[in-house]
Structure 1
Amino acid sequence: MTEGNFVDYVKIYVSSGKGGKGSTHLHREKFIEKGGPDGGDGGRGGHVYLVGNKSLWTLFHLKFARHVKAGHGGDGGGDRSTGADGEDKFIEVPLGTVVRDKESNEILFEITAHGEKRIVAQGGKGGLGNWHFRSSTNQTPRYSQPGLPSEEIDMILELKVLADVGLVGFPNAGKSTLLSVLTSAKPKIADYPFTTLKPNLGIVAYRDFQSFVIADIPGIIEGAAEGKGLGHYFLRHIERNSTLLFLVPVDTPDIKAEYDILVNELKKYNPEMLDKERMLVISKCDMLDDELKLELKIQLDKDFKNIPYLFISSVAQQGLTELKDKLWNMLNTEN
């Protein structure tokens, strides 16, 4: 999937169908002079549904479908015939889609399961025909009910990617490079900050035909929680990851300080982020000899007593198998 095809935010207007009106028909038949009322009911207006589809990874298919309208219910007829129900509309969305009301910004619901179906706009109920209103004192009612009106809603669809592991790090930390060597994903890689502007997903093939999903999140900068850089635009994607992989290059002047900034930004955005499993990966370690690596290890043991860490090199393919093993254990160990 190219970066331009990844769409994780769309505004869409939906309208259900209005209900059909009931009939005021009076029965007419040869030799039956006063057949009485036999007006049928109006049909139900069409609903608009959102349906979860695990095969979708983006909202790109809705980028240009800004209006979705269901069909109106048919009117009732004579001989107590009911009008046809309006055509329902089904909008398929990827798992992890959050639905908001555009006016109030209130979260209405989330789609998290394949095949999950939720009504976003309910079709109007059809009106009752005059057959329902007959009585001993009014045997030929000449009135019926109109159908109920349609529902309209302006809504926002936000996608929070569903991945097992989220790659967290400063811009240009090597996240895209790591994703490209761990998976078959082909993210854009270049030697400048904010190369990645959209989340990239990749499937890591593990032993015995098992796998897990890893997401390369656009780089965090200090102040991201207040909206600096790409701000909230990408931080919401990290909420879905069960494990966070902090990536810090070995040539960073102060690894602990950079790690603390990343953690602080996540905390300011959503304190629950700190409840997730965390792991620190020191990248670009092909630049170190054994002596420098030992010195760095002594310092890291002091700074990161409760956080597991690992030395890797994406370019030199060092430490990647061990990284997969540790991530798999973290994902499959119950706390």
Structure 2
Amino acid sequence: MSRLLCRSLSRQRRLFHCSGAPRQEASNTVLETQEDDDDLQDLLRRKRKTEWKRRQGGQSFLDNLIINVRGGNGGDGCVAFHREKWKPMGPPSGGSGGRGGDVYILPTPNLTTLSSIPKRVRGAAGGNGQGTWQNGKSAPPTIIKVPLGTVIRELLPGDSRRAKDEWEAEEESLKGLGPEERRAKLRDDRWVHYPRYADDNVNRDVFKQAEAALYREERARRWARKQRLLSPINLDLDKTEEVMISDDAPLGMGQHEWLGHIVARGGNGGLGNPHFLSPINRSPKFATRGHEGERLTLYLELKILADIGLVGMPNAGKSTLLRALTGGRAKTEVAGYAFTTLNPIVGVIRVAEDGTFEGALQGEHIFDETAIEEERLRERELSDIDNAEEQLRLQDDSPDSPRPDIEPGHDFDVHETFRFTVADNPGLISGSSENVGLGHSFLRSMERSLALVYVVDLSRPEPWDELRDLKDELEKYQPGMSDKAHMVIANKADLLGGEGDRDAVEEAREKLRRLEEYVKTEMVVKTPDGERILDVIPTSAKMSQNLKKAVVLMQKYIQQARTVKV
């Protein structure tokens, strides 16, 4: 339908240009048709975007992931002999292989999802050794970047989700082979022979001694691996670290960048044939292959770190509130239907000494995403008209309502004294604790917030029922989680300003009074120091009203929580 309307609009423009009809009449007709088309296009576009996100099964935001990690394989040693013009029978000169790359996990502050992490991570392989004593190059490390707040656990043997380690994988590859075939495959995986000398090498005593020493080393490495499984990897990446150089370090030792936590070590490189030189073996014609890197399976779970977590039903205005608090810098999804926000979004609130925050500098700015999109569509339609004067005049004839900026937000010039983060979480519904709706994946994102803030829609008939359901879902998911709540924001309280219908204003005030009474009687939080009553703050996030008081209280909650945590 929208395509037909666009074609009709274009046809009308061409007719007006050809017939010489009055320009004013053409402008009015274009604007009337355009308004209907804009509404339809906006609705269809938003619903298509939301349905696409739902069909992805939450792939745009991942909060738990299982990955298979392998360290890089070591490079093979080389079998070579030095040859010069006057030295036809030179000494062995094969270089050793380079070490395989280690795999690190690095917590990164600017990431908020695990969706960018591949399910299979393999470290780079070391370079093979070459003649004239050239050792292979060691491989660079592989770094997996994860968001702050990620918990990493190693899956142990017996877990069906765990992939086989390097020893188990080798045993599986040997199944079904006879004794001779098994021995031949084991030797082929461990040794490099000089051309046409493989059969001769395996029958020599010096090779058998070297082979026995190699298997003793392997048994020691396998034992060390079993011992490491007694203390599996269990990381809680809630902060970044820096490498500190000791004062006693040698001169010229520069500052090294922290690579993260090592999770899989690369294999050692193979030994070149000079390593096997001895008085009874003056011409070793074999070398070893590089060792395989460690293999393991990790379970990653993301629990977003934010000072304040917004908790509310779908379409309660949490996204609009975050946009208003951050001055439009937090690019949240805002629309008139439920589950607009499908991904948690973290915004930074910057506060000055007098309590002024970045969003307060917007003045009378209206944070209405629908109006912003309508303005973008209007600008796009006007760009299709060739006459620049017509463009300017049509813009002047736009509605009298305040025109929002296309990209709100500007520099925060006031001296900043405090900074905290606020997380806009997707809406909860009844049964979220039982994984209904968007379920556990977004309740998990609120666990680590220092404080929680309920956001309810005051324009709904009974906002206190929303508040009761939100508290119940938090308690069912994790007992005691609702004790982190400090404030109730009664959003969409535009009518409390006294404008509009008198009966509607009185109804809004009565609902606010009942909500405050409900909070005082039913939402009391018990603490070691006594009972705490939640603050109730009526706001209008869309009109940026009464937000300063909310920011001042949030700052107080965070300072108290940080003091207790320390």
**TM class, shorter-chain normalised?**
0.7 to 0.9
TM-score w.r.t. structure 2 length?
Answer: 0.51
User: Unpaired runs of 5+ in structure 2?
Assistant: 1-48, 54-58, 156-160, 164-231, 241-257, 353-414, 497-504, 525-531
The CA deviation at 1:100 is 6.0
- 1:182-225, Cα deviation, whole Å (9 max, x unpaired): 11223222222212111122222211413211111011111112
Aligned to 2:445: 237
Structure 2 CA distance, aligned partners of 1:70 and 1:145?
Answer: 21
Which amino acid is the alignment partner of residue 427 of structure 2?
G
Measured after TM superposition, the shift of residue 135 of structure 1 is 4.0
Match of 1:8 in 2: 62
Letter in 2 for 1:175: K
Contact 2:95/2:273 (CA < 8 Å) preserved in 1? yes
Separation in structure 2 between the aligned mates of residue 90 and residue 307 of structure 1, nearest angstrom: 46
Aligned to 2:127: 74
Does 2:392 align with 1:214?
no
Query: What is residue 330 of structure 1 aligned with on the other side?
Result: 557
Question: In the TM superposition, what whole-angstrom CA distance separates every residue of 1:130-186 from its partner, at most 9, and x where no partner exists?
Answer: 333344554544333211124456666554333211100111222122112111223
Q: Would you say how many aligned residue pairs link Structure 1 and Structure 2?
A: 332
Report the counterpart of residue 537 of structure 2 in structure 1.
Answer: 311
Distance 1:244 1:42 in 2: 55
Distance of aligned partners of 1:128 and 1:274 in 2 relative to their CA distance in 1, 3 Å threshold: farther
Q: Relative to structure 1, is the Cα distance of residues 38 and 273 closer, same or farther in structure 2, using a 3 angstrom cutoff?
A: farther
Whole-angstrom distance in 2 between the partners of 1:54 and 1:302: 40
Q: Which moved more, 1:210-219 or 1:68-77?
A: 68-77
Aligned residue type for 1:324 = V
Match of 1:54 in 2: 109
The aligned counterpart of 2:77 is: 22
Check if 1:189 corresponds to 2:189. Answer: no
Matches within 5 A, 1:73-112: 73-99=126-152, 103-104=161-162, 109-112=235-238
Q: How far, CA to CA, are the matches of 2:162 and 2:287 in structure 1?
A: 37
From 249, 262, 268, the counterpart of 2:476: 268
Alpha-carbon distance between aligned partners in 1 of 2:518 and 2:442, rounded to the nearest angstrom: 32
Alignment-mate amino acid for residue 191 of structure 1 = G
Higher mean displacement: 237-246 or 22-31: 22-31
Give the number of the structure whose residues are more often strand, by fraction.
1
Q: CA RMSD in A?
A: 3.5
**Greater shift after overlay, 85-94 or 25-34?**
25-34
User: After alignment, is 23-32 or 216-225 more displaced?
Assistant: 23-32
How does 1:28-177 map onto structure 2 within 5 Å? Answer: 36-59=91-114, 62=116, 68-99=121-152, 103-104=161-162, 109-114=235-240, 117-152=260-295, 158-177=301-320
Equivalent pair of 2:319/2:334 in contact (CA under 8 Å): yes
CA contact (8 A) 2:487 2:537 kept: no
Confirm or deny: 8 A CA contact 1:256 1:303 kept in the other structure.
no
- Distance of 1:191 and 1:107 partners within structure 2: 45
Once the two structures are overlaid, the 10-residue window that deviates more, 240-249 or 303-312, is 303-312
- Is the contact between residue 6 and residue 59 of structure 1 (CA under 8 Å) also seen in structure 2? no
Q: How far, CA to CA, are the matches of 1:104 and 1:242 in structure 2?
A: 34
C-alpha distance in structure 2 between counterparts of 1:48 and 1:218, whole Å: 34
Partner of 2:455: 247
Q: Provide the secondary structure at the position in 1 that maps to 2:287.
A: coil
Residues 160 and 237 of structure 1 are in contact (CA less than 8 Å); yes or no, is this contact kept in structure 2? yes
Gaps of at least 5 residues in structure 1 are none
Tell me the amino acid that sits aligned with residue 72 of structure 2: G
What fraction of aligned residue pairs are identical, expressed as a percent?
A: 38
Cα distance change on mapping 1:307 and 1:143 into 2, 3 Å? farther
**CA pair 33-217 structure 1, distance change in 2 beyond 3 A:** same
Which is worse superposed, 151-160 or 89-98?
Answer: 151-160
- Mapped to 2, the partners of 1:7 and 1:155 lie a distance apart of 19
Post-superposition offset of 1:254: 5.3
Deviations 1:289-315 (A, max 9, x none): 586345553443233342322222224
Q: 1:104 to 1:226 in 2, by over 3 A?
A: farther
For residues 277 and 298 of structure 1, what CA distance do their matches in structure 2 show?
Answer: 17
Higher-helix-fraction structure: 2
Residue identity matched to 1:112? D
Residue type matched to 1:8 in 2? L
1:271 is paired with a residue of what secondary structure? Answer: coil
Q: 1:116 to 1:258 in 2, by over 3 A?
A: farther
Larger radius of gyration, structure 1 or 2?
Answer: 2
Give CA-to-partner distance per residue, 1:65-124, whole Å, 9 cap, x none: 666544321222345432111243333333234446682499853443345613344322
The answer (yes or no) to whether the contact 1:280–1:307 under 8 Å persists in 2 is: no
The 2-side partners of 1:96 and 1:197 are apart by: 19
- Residue 297 (str. 1) matches residue 516 (str. 2): yes
The 1:116–1:237 alpha-carbon spacing in structure 2 relative to 1, beyond 3 Å, is: farther
- Higher mean C-alpha deviation, range 294-303 or range 230-239: 294-303
Q: Contact 1:44 / 1:123 at 8 angstroms: preserved in 2? A: yes
Contact kept, 8 Å, 2:316 with 2:457, in 1: the verdict is yes
Distance, in Å, in 1 between the alignment partners of 2:259 and 2:286 is 41
SS of the aligned residue for 1:220 comes to coil
Residue 487 of structure 2 is matched in structure 1 by: 279
Question: Which shifted more, 152-161 or 46-55?
Answer: 152-161
**Equivalent residues of 2:486, 2:535 under 8 A apart:** no
- The residue type equivalent to 1:109 in the other structure is L
